[in-house]
Amino acid sequence: MNFFEIIAQTFAQSGFVAMTWQQGVMILVSFVLLYMAIKKGFEPLLLLPIAFGMLLANLPLAGLMYDATAEGLAWYNSGVLRIIYMGVKSSIFPCLIFMGVGAMTDFGPLIANPISLLLGAAALLALSCVLAGCSSGSTGADSSTSPAADGAAASQGSTLRVAMELAYPPFETKDDAGNPEGLAVDFIRDFGAAYGYDVQIENTAWDGLIPALQTGKADLVISSMTITDERKQSVDFSDAYAMAQLAILANANSGVASIDDLNQPGKKVAVKTGSTGDVYATKNLTNAEIVRLADESACVTEVVQGKADGFLYDQLTIYRNHQANPDTTEAVFIPFQDAEEWGIAVKKGNTTLLDQLNAFIAQSKADGEFDRLTEKYLAEEKKAFDEYGFKWFFDFE
C-alpha cells in the first residue's frame, strides 16, 4: 500500500469524507481564530498543545500516528482512549473560540493570563472526558440489551478487509486501471452488500494470505484457495464455493501424456509454491525434480521454453494457457485426483463471519448467483469444459 492509498483509506474509515457541513465550518472557524490569536502575539507555548489537540480531534491523518497500516482509527474504539478523544474533541472548540474572542477584543483578565487559561482549559477537558465516559457507558448498555435482528443489521457499516492475490483471472485479477476485478471480487462484494459490509480488497502475495488473517490485517481470504487439512490447522474455512481438479500443462516435446509420465527420473515439474499442485507433486511425484516458482506465469514460461516438462495447476488455468500457447504446449486433462474444494478462509474462531459466509454460499447455490457469474466471466470456458466432460467449478453434486 502506497502513501496515497493509506491517506485515502484513512479518510474513508475515519468518516472525514462524511462529515457534516457544520463540522467543516467549525474546523474552518477554529483555524481562523487560531491564526488571529497567533497574530495578536498570544503565548506560543499555550497555542501549540491546543493546535495539536485540534488536529488530533478533527483530522483523520492523526490516525496514522496510531495505525501505520491505516486500517482505521482502531484505537478510537478502546475505552480510555475513546474517552480522551471525545473529551479533546468536545473541549477544544470552546477553548479556541474563547481564545479568539479574547485575542480580538483584549477582553477580561482571564484571557491575559496564560496560566489561568490553561487551568480553565484543563478543567473543561476533564469535564468533557467525564461526560464522554458517561455517554460511552450508556451506549454500551443500550447495545448490550438491543441485539441486532439479523446478521445484516449487526454488520451494517462495518469494514470487511478482504485479502486476495489479484493474479488469477478471471477469478481474482485487475482491470486496466489496476482495480480489483473478477468472479471472486464480484462474489465477495455481493456478500458485503447482502450483509451491510464495506468491502475493502487488499492485493496480497499468495504466501502472505494466511498470515494476513493470523495477524489481523485481513478479515477473510478468498483467493481460489483449496481447503486442506494442513491449512485447517491455521484458519477456519467456509463451505466450498467452487470445485476444481488438477491438470498438466506439458511441453509439446516432453512426451508427457499422463501423470505417470511426469513421475520419472530426469523430468522437471513446475509448481507454484504452496499450491495444491505443489502439495500433490511433493507427495506423489517423488522421482521427478520439482521446480517451485512464485507465480503461475513463471511456471507457464518454464514449460513454454522447455525448461520444465510439465506444470501442475487447476484445469481452467491449464486450458487457458494451452489456448495461449498451442504450438509449444499440450494440455493433459486426465483426472488423477478427486476434485478440490475452494473455500473462504477466516481467522480461527470467527464463527459470526463464518456463519454469514456459509449462509450466503448456500443461498448463491440456490438462487443462480454462480450461474450469473459464470455467464459474465466464464461462458466460453464452460462450453469447453462441457465438451471435454470436465466437472465444472460450480457443480457441487
Residue-wise pLDDT for 174-208, tens only, equals 999 999 999 999 999 999 999 999 999 999 999 99
Among 25-34, 121-130, 284-293, name the most confident range: 284-293
Residue 61 has pLDDT above 50, yes or no: no
User: Is residue 250 packed enough to be buried (19+ CB in 10 Å), middle (13-18) or exposed (0-12)?
Assistant: buried
225 has a pLDDT exceeding 90: yes
Q: Do 250 and 237 sit in the same domain of this protein? A: no
> Per-residue pLDDT averaged across 287-313, rounded?
95
Asked if 285 and 266 touch (Cβ cutoff 8 Å), the reply is no
**Given this model, what pLDDT does residue 321 score?**
93
18 with 138, same domain: the answer is: yes
320 and 362 together in one domain: no
Q: Exposed, middle or buried: residue 334 (CB in 10 Å: 0-12, 13-18, 19+)?
A: exposed
Q: What is the mean pLDDT of residues 276-289?
A: 94
Q: Is the pLDDT of residue 303 over 90?
A: yes
Each residue of 33-48: pLDDT tens digit?
A: 666 665 655 555 555 5
CATH of the domain at 271: 3.40.190.10
Beta bridge partners of 67: none
Kindly state whether residues 195 and 125 are assigned to the same domain: no
Confidence of residue 219 (pLDDT cuts 50, 70, 90): very high
Residue type for position 364: S
Judge if 228 and 327 occupy the same domain.
no
DSSP of 167-228: -BTTTBEE-TTS-EESHHHHHHHHHHHHHTEEEEEEE--GGGHHHHHHTTS-SEE-SSPBP-
Residue 313 has pLDDT above 90, yes or no: yes
365 and 238 in one domain?
yes
pTM score, two decimals? Answer: 0.55
Q: Out of 122-136, 190-204, 211-225, which region has the weakest mean confidence (pLDDT)?
A: 122-136
Residue 20, pLDDT above cutoff 70: no
**Domain containing 328: what range?**
246-337
| pLDDT, greater one: 108 or 346 | 346
Mean pLDDT of 161-169: 94
pLDDT confidence of residue 10: 43
Chain segment 66-78, per-residue pLDDT in tens:
333 333 333 333 4
